[in-house]
Structures are given as structure tokens and as C-alpha cells.
Amino acid sequence: MPKLIAMQPKRLGAIAAATIMLAAFGGAEALAASPRATENKMILVARQDPGTLDYVTSNLTALRLWIPSNVVEPLVYFEKDGTVTPGVAESWTISDDRLTYVFTIREAKFSNGAPLTVEDVIYSLNTMKSSPVLQNSAAYNAVTAIEKVDDRTVKVTLSRPSQAFWAGMGSTAGLIQPEAAAGSIATDPIGTGPYKLVKYTTNSAFEFTANPEYWGPAPAIKDVTVRIVTDGTAGLNALEAGEVDAIPVNTIDLWEQLVKREFDKKFTLVTDPQIGEPTYAVINQKIDPELRQAIAGTLDRQAYNDAFGAAWGAENTCTFALPNQPWYQPENAESCPYPYDLEGAMKTILEKGFNTLPLEYASLSDVPDLSLPADIMVPTLQAAGLNVTRNAIDLARYSQLIFQGRPPQFDITVMSGDAEPGQWSCPTPDKAGWSTYCSADYTDALAQADVATSDEEYLALMQKAADILRKDAVIVPLIAKKGVGLFDVDLKGFTEPKVAVAVELRALHW
Amino acid sequence: MSTIAPTARPIRPKRRLQLNASLVVGVALTIGFLVIAIVSFFWLPSNPNIPVIKDRLLPPGTAGHLLGTDVLGRDVIAQLMVGSRTSILVGAGGASIALILGTITGLAAAAYGKIADELISRGADIMLSIPGMVTALVLAATMGSGALTTILALSAFFTPSFTRVIRSAALSVLQEDFITAARLYGRGKLFILARHVLPNIAGVMIVQFTLYFAAGILTEAGLSYLGVGVTRPQISWGMMLNEAQQQVGISSPLAVWPGLAIVFVVLGLNLLGDGLRDVLDPKLKRRTA
């Protein structure tokens, strides 16, 4: 005992010293600012490489996260509170009958130093009007003329009022590019945005720097690098090691790991529906409607949600939408015409003889957040008595088979992507979306919504369209996933995207 | 001389013991592997493809799931057992096709004159200069991924190696006196190759087969890990590794089990090959005698 008592002060001293050291070094590590903060830079992580930066012909999320809004601006911006603020157009007037839009173009320069002209605006709008991307061209369905009024004014005339046109002018359909640089859009898009693209290296990185010609206040962070790290775990490791400052979009397959490794405590976790995605099954429209409904009845949404172990960021739904869209509804008896009922589905399959029909499930093998649902769906369909085989293919073959396959080259698949209801409209069968889904009723409902003259009318018609989509059991939503971002605690200013899903780089600051 | 013999002779039993030990371990591991694969056709702890979400990510040692479950609640042991079938199918399939093609081309190169030898040998050189993994990726891209594609890819880049080894062994046998005797007796080339050469190079063929069987399993696991091998409902250990990759931060053992399975099976086949070579190789026999 005396020895123990005699040693206690020393031990206490050692413990105290160790505690101070730990606090000093541990605390310093926890509080250490990113080295990029002092250099006014930041490094972000992207999970996917878009392959092309041509936003006219491609609507890949991997592209739309970075180029719109940051490099190329639309005519106007729609703010979160519903107000409309100037973009490339510094002012505008809309006729009372909503058939004539007159935009006054600001005196500004593109990031390559060329002056912004009315001719560039007319060229850009006409280019988007003929874009192969339906979300872009659909905004111009009612447009009959795009004309120059004077050197700073453009007039757009519509044949009927169109919600889609006005919404499009604040989205990718309204992006303005210089006609002279259109040839290099796939690798070096030019715009009037706060940043200019310095370099894009395929499968490696985007490098941005503040655009010296930008008409607005300069962004807080001058140089931004977006590293393309396809391995999600490697991206998280890089963030933990301080090699990067943020991962603005984390796919659902990482959410459970993210929480288990306490990234939500060590970094700023932001959740935002707008950069989220619905996950949905697509059933070939040619399949008997009763079989489609039976297949829809085998889908246990809670199982899909639980499989990702991240119920905090995903909600079960039967509506093709995200929670920030007013016609969205979570899974409930009213919004789900074909709720999970495996026994009922099995009975129908057996009674109607659907069990003898060979079905092919096209499965994307190299995208974890889509292969996991397939791992649940295929055995469940087989357990329900269906003769389903799984055709596992990579993204390149999937694009060829699913997006370009005419007639449809699959029976069932699962997808995750934009919550844009217009992508399923088909004014003519040849305009059908990638799944070749085409419903006259649904298209009509969307067309009626497009000419709505009030927000209430628009919402009611969009709800009607969503209902048609649900009952058709071709596009069968499973879960609505929020966008989940991780940011260095000192990197602040994340705001919801203004242009589609674009990460607003200009708003971020140390 | 009398002093050399006593010191040289005691080495022999020790060397033989070492060789036999490697053969015994190799045989034990390989038989264990084959037994597991055969048993999997008759019994499995549970369906390895049916998700049981409530049982997801159970740790090893859980009742009913000795090695735990994966992210969808599927039993790891059941998946490992079914994965062993794929390893046998692809590894043995690729090595067998390569053995057959390599034997035909190797014997032809050895027995049918200089032009045939040059054509076949240079062809093999060209094929060997193309990385096997690239061949597999190209085949997967054009034909789609799956067991058949992997077997074809394996046979494509194993065949030239078999050709070289068989050619070399056959050339050696063709120089023996009994071959000359057979020729003088009027036997044709095909008869000599089938009756005299093949039996004498059988040991080399068996050893090569075991080694390439192991290499096939490794390559298949690599391709499935990259997502261009087999896909569910087929199960591969490489696929299990791929699936476990996303769970490393959540459930690390998931990546350990298929990794260990690959290590033990490949080790077993390599030891078996080494042991068989020691037993079957006549030159080695002569050296040790």
C-alpha cells in the first residue's frame, strides 16, 4: 500500500500528461482544418464518370451534378421559395395569356472571353429544342418561334401555355452556350457560370477555377477539383484520411457503412431529396396487365429498404417522385394499388398459368445499388412461381439493351434515376422513353398539366398522372432515396440545387 | 567411395517423406474440396440465393449460421458450398479443354515436322503474348459474362502453355530408342503417339492439369470479383468477395471466408501437383534413386 500510495502521484502525472497529449493531438486531428482551406481550394469526390460533358445529348447524373449551374447557366433560376431570379437573362416579361416570353439578355461574357449575344441564346434554345434527351426537348413542345427582337432581347412564342417551358428555362433545357464553341461541348463546355472547366480527364477528375468573366460575385473558393473515385469505400477512406473535403453524393449502398464508421459524426451529413433518386421496377408493357400487377404484388418495399440498412435516408413509396415533389406520397393503402401480397400474387400466377411463361430479368451487374435489389427481386419472383431467368449485364450492354432496344429487349428490370415524370410521356410511340413505355392516358394527363394556369390545377393533374402510372404497373416504384452528402465540418454553405441536381459549388466556403 | 554412400543414402527417406507430406496435404485439401462440392448437390444449410432480410449480417457463430450471413441474410456456408461447384466447373472445365487442345497441338508440333512445329510454336508464342485477363474481358464484353465465357477464356490462354509443355515432353520421348524400334516395326505416327508417347507423358499432363486447375480457380475468382465472371443464381467465391467489398467497414469476416476458401483450394491443388510431379516424373525418380 505505501508503495502504491507513493507511486500514485507519478501515475496520476503520467495519466494526466497522456491525457493532455491525447487531447492535444487527438483534438488537433479532429479540429485540423483541411490544408485546402488556407489555399482557397477544395477537392470533392464523384462516384461516376460521365464519359461526355455534352449536356445536350446526355442526361447522365454524373454530368448534371457538375456542369449545369457551375459552368453553364440557364436563362433564369428557380429559388427554393418559388421565386425566379436572373440567370443569363437579366429580366423577362410573360404575356397575360402565357404565350409570349420576352427575355432581356445581360451584358456578359462567356468563360472563354467571347461576348454573350442574342444569337448564342437563340442557338442554344434551338439546340435544346431538338435535343435527343426528352427532358430537354419536351420543354419546347409548345414553342412555335424563337426570335431576335434586338441585340439584347429574345422573344419566344408558344402555341399554348406550358408549365414545362417555363420550368425548362430554369433547368438544363434553358442552358446557354456559345455557338462558336459548340463543337467542343463534349470535352470543354463553355458558359457564363461562376466557374470555368480547366480540364476534364476521363475516369480521373474535373478541374474548375473561378470564371474571371463571371457577371456575379466571385465564388468563395477559387479552385475546385472533383476526383472520380468509382469505389465508394475508397472515396470514404479518402475523406477520412483528409485527402478530399467532401463527397456531395453518396449512393445508398454506402449508407450503412457510412453510419457504422461514424462518418455522420465526424463530418457534416446533409440529406436533400432533390439530388436523391427513386428506385423502381420496370415491367415490359407488352406483358399481360394481370401478370404485371401480380409481379408488382411480389415487391416487398420494406425488404428493399431494410436490405440497404439505411431507412433514415429512404422511404417506401408507390409514387414515381421524390418527397420534394408535391404529388409524392409515401407507401400507404391509398397510394399503392398493388401492395405486397406474395400469396395473392402466387395464386394469380398459378390460376392464370403465368408460371409457364419464360421471363427475362435484365440485371445491371456492376452498379451495387441496382444489383442488390435484383438479388432480392429475382429469387422472390421465382419463389412466387414465375419462370424468371436473370440476364446479368454491364452498364455498356445495359444501355444498349434497355435504352436503345426497340422493341423492348427485357421483361423486368430495376432502375434508379431521375424523378422526372415527363420522361414517361410519349406524344408519339417513337418518342417513348428508354423503357419504351407509352401510355396515351398518362401522356394526356401530363399534357393537361402542362397547360394548367394555376398551381392547384397543375398539382391536381400531376397527381392524376401519377395515379395512372401507378395503376399501369409498368413503372413500379419501390423506394425514394434522398441525396446524402458528406462535407468537411469546416466546409459550409451547401444549398439545394437550383438547376436539376447540380451541386452548387459557388455556395460552398471554408 | 565407401564414405560417400553412407552419407548420401540417409537423405533419400527424408526427401521422400517431404514429398509425400506435400502430396498427402494436397490430396486431403483437394478431396475435402471435392467432397464439399458433391455434398452441396444433396444438402445445403439453406438456399444461398433467397434473401432473409431479418437475418442480414449475422456474425460468425450465430446458431444456424456458423460463418454468419451476408447483407441479404443469405448463409455464408451455403454460398461457399455452391461456390465450390463453380470453381470446379470453371477451373476443371478450362484446364480440361486446354489439356485436350494443348495435347493435340503439342503432339502435332513434336511429331509432324519442322513446318508444323514452327507454325504451332509461333502461334502459341503469339497467344501467350496476349494477357489472359484481356482475353477474358474481351470475351465477356462480346459474349456476356458467365461460366461458359470464363471457361472459354481460360482455355484460350491455358492452351498455349499446355502446347509448349506437351511438345517438349513428347519431343523427349520421341528420341527414345523404343520409338525408333516402333518406327522400324512399321508403326504409323498416330499409333506411336497414342500407344507410346501419350502413356509416357501422362504424368506431365496430370501435373500440368492440377496446376492449371488451381490457376483456373484463381482466374475465375478474379474475373467474378471484377464483375465479368459468373453472376447469380450461380455463385462464385470471387463474386462473394466482390459483394463483401462494400461491407468491409460493416462486417469484415464476409470477405475473409471466400478468401480463405480460395487460398486452401489453390494451395491444395498446387501441393497435389507438386506431390504428383515428385512421384510421376521419371527424371526426378532417377535423380532420387
Residue range B50-84, pLDDT digits in tens: 899 889 889 999 999 999 999 899 999 999 999 99
The band of A312, judged by pLDDT with boundaries at 50, 70 and 90, is confident
The band of B98, judged by pLDDT with boundaries at 50, 70 and 90, is very high
Interchain CB contact of B31 with A (< 8 Å): no
pLDDT of residue A16 exceeding 60, the answer is: no
Distance CA A473, CA A297 (A): 10
Task: Please tell me the distance in Å from A45's CA to the nearest CA on chain B.
Answer: 17
Say which residue, B120 or B253, is predicted with more confidence.
B120
The per-residue pLDDT for B86 is: 93
Strands A268-283 and A412-416: antiparallel
Average confidence score pLDDT of chain B: 86
Interchain CB contact of B50 with A (< 8 Å): yes
Give the position of cell 524400334: B181
Tell me whether residues A254 and B250 touch, CB distance under 8 A: no
Say which residue, B133 or A366, is predicted with more confidence.
B133
Amino acid at A159: S
Residue among B50, B71, B248 whose CB faces A379 most closely: B50
Label residue A354 exposed, middle or buried (CB < 10 Å: 0-12, 13-18, 19+).
Answer: buried
Domains in chain A (CATH in brackets) are 276-482 (3.10.105.10)
Tell me whether residues A394 and B47 touch, CB distance under 8 A: no
Residues 6+ apart with CB under 8 A from B118: none
The band of A418, judged by pLDDT with boundaries at 50, 70 and 90, is confident
Mutation choice for A interface testing from B250, B251, B252, B254 by most A CBs within 10 A: B250
B107-122 mean pLDDT: 93
Tell me whether residues B51 and A392 touch, CB distance under 8 A: no
The per-residue pLDDT for A353 is: 93
Task: Please tell me the distance in Å from B168's CA to the nearest CA on chain A.
Answer: 41
For A486-508, write each residue's pLDDT tens digit.
999 999 999 888 888 889 999 99
The gap from C-alpha B217 to its chain's centroid, in whole angstroms, comes to 6
pLDDT of residue B281 exceeding 60, the answer is: yes
Chain A CA closest to residue B243: A368
Interchain CB contact of A62 with B (< 8 Å): no
Average confidence score pLDDT of chain A: 87
pLDDT of residue A149 exceeding 50, the answer is: yes
The residues that bridge with A78 in the sheet, in sequence order, are: A84
A408-435 mean pLDDT: 79
Residue among A257, A309, A392 whose CB faces B145 most closely: A392
Give the position of cell 440557364: A74
Q: Roughly what angle, to the nearest 10 degrees, separates helices B113-129 and B76-111? A: 150
Report ipTM (2 d.p.). 0.70
Tell me whether residues B233 and A261 touch, CB distance under 8 A: no
Distance CA A119, CA A176 (A): 11
Interchain CB contact of A394 with B (< 8 Å): yes
Mutation choice for B interface testing from A229, A233, A256 by most B CBs within 10 A: A256
The per-residue pLDDT for A307 is: 87
Chain B CA closest to residue A303: B53
Tell me whether residues A307 and B53 touch, CB distance under 8 A: yes
Helix (H) or strand (E) segment spanning residue A36: helix A35-38
Task: Please tell me the distance in Å from A234's CA to the nearest CA on chain B.
Answer: 10
Distance CA A118, CA A106 (A): 10
Chain A CA closest to residue B225: A366
Interchain CB contact of B259 with A (< 8 Å): no
The per-residue pLDDT for B117 is: 93
The per-residue pLDDT for A438 is: 85
Chain B CA closest to residue A254: B246
Domains in chain B (CATH in brackets) are 74-282 (1.10.3720.10)
Residue among A306, A368, A379 whose CB faces B49 most closely: A379
A315-334 mean pLDDT: 90
Task: Please tell me the distance in Å from A235's CA to the nearest CA on chain B.
Answer: 12
The per-residue pLDDT for A255 is: 87
Burial B96-116 (b: 16+ CB within 10 A, else e): bbbbebbbbbbbbbbbeeeee
The per-residue pLDDT for A10 is: 44
Residue among B71, B72, B245 whose CB faces A233 most closely: B245
Q: Which residues of A touch B252 (CB under 8 A)?
A: none
The per-residue pLDDT for A12 is: 43
The per-residue pLDDT for A26 is: 42
Interchain CB contact of B163 with A (< 8 Å): no
The per-residue pLDDT for B5 is: 40
Q: Which of B121, B94, B93, B128 is nearest to B107 (CA)?
A: B121
Interchain CB contact of B252 with A (< 8 Å): no
Tell me whether residues A390 and B233 touch, CB distance under 8 A: yes
Interchain CB contact of A364 with B (< 8 Å): no
Helix (H) or strand (E) segment spanning residue A247: strand A246-247
Strands A195-201 and A205-210: antiparallel
* Other CB atoms within 10 A of residue B85 CB: 18
pLDDT of residue A205 exceeding 60, the answer is: yes
pLDDT of residue A21 exceeding 90, the answer is: no
The per-residue pLDDT for A20 is: 44
Task: Please tell me the distance in Å from A232's CA to the nearest CA on chain B.
Answer: 8
A252, A308 in Cβ contact below 8 A?
A: yes
Tell me whether residues A378 and B247 touch, CB distance under 8 A: no
pLDDT of residue B127 exceeding 70, the answer is: yes
For A232-291, write each residue's pLDDT tens digit.
889 999 999 999 999 999 988 888 888 888 999 999 999 888 888 899 999 998 899 999
Say which residue, B132 or B216, is predicted with more confidence.
B216
% of chain A surpassing 90 pLDDT: 59
Least confident residue range of A39-48, A361-370, B13-22, B272-281: B13-22
pLDDT of residue B204 exceeding 50, the answer is: yes
- If contacts are CB pairs under 8 Å, which of residues 219-238 in chain A contact chain B? 231-233, 236
Torsion on CA atoms A7, A9, A15, A17, rounded to nearest 10: -130
The band of B256, judged by pLDDT with boundaries at 50, 70 and 90, is very high
Specify whether the backbone of A242 is left (phi greater than 0), alpha (psi in -120 to 50) or beta: left
Q: Which residues of A touch B246 (CB under 8 A)?
A: 232-233, 253-254, 257, 368
Residues 6+ apart with CB under 8 A from A291: A348, A349, A352, A354, A357
The per-residue pLDDT for A134 is: 79
B20-39 mean pLDDT: 92
Task: Please tell me the distance in Å from A191's CA to the nearest CA on chain B.
Answer: 37
Task: Please tell me the distance in Å from B71's CA to the nearest CA on chain A.
Answer: 7
Tell me whether residues B249 and A253 touch, CB distance under 8 A: no
